[in-house]
Amino acid sequence: MIKIYTTPVCVYCKMAKEYFKSRGLQYEEYDVAADQEKLNEMVAKSHQRGVPVIDVDGTIMVGFDRDYLEQALQGAGRQ
């Protein structure tokens, strides 16, 4: 499962979501600006408050790094 923790004004969040859509990947999005529980979950996973935080089957990354994201997707059997 792919989860992305975002805020409405985050440019890198939008880039990550566009990347997922271009690859036909389904994901769950959580707006941590509006959902305190998901914010707490994100911080527990990443130990940071910056967005996006992307969780690919337990592999956590902060920010949008296309190369690292592709490696995580390959490791999860998604590419």
Q: In sequence order, which residues have a C-beta less than 8 Å from that of residue 73 and are 6 or more positions away?
A: 23, 25, 56, 79
Indicate the pLDDT class of residue 39, thresholds 50, 70 and 90. Answer: very high
Task: Give the pTM.
Answer: 0.93
Grouping H, G, I as helix, E, B as strand and the rest as coil, residue 67 is helix
Determine the average pLDDT of the residues in 19-38.
Answer: 97
What is d(CA 49, CA 29) in angstroms, rounded to the nearest whole number? 16
Binned at pLDDT 50, 70 and 90, residue 75 comes out as confident
Q: Cα(29)–Cα(27) distance, rounded to whole angstroms?
A: 6
Q: Give the homologous superfamily in CATH for domain 2-75.
A: Glutaredoxin (3.40.30.10)
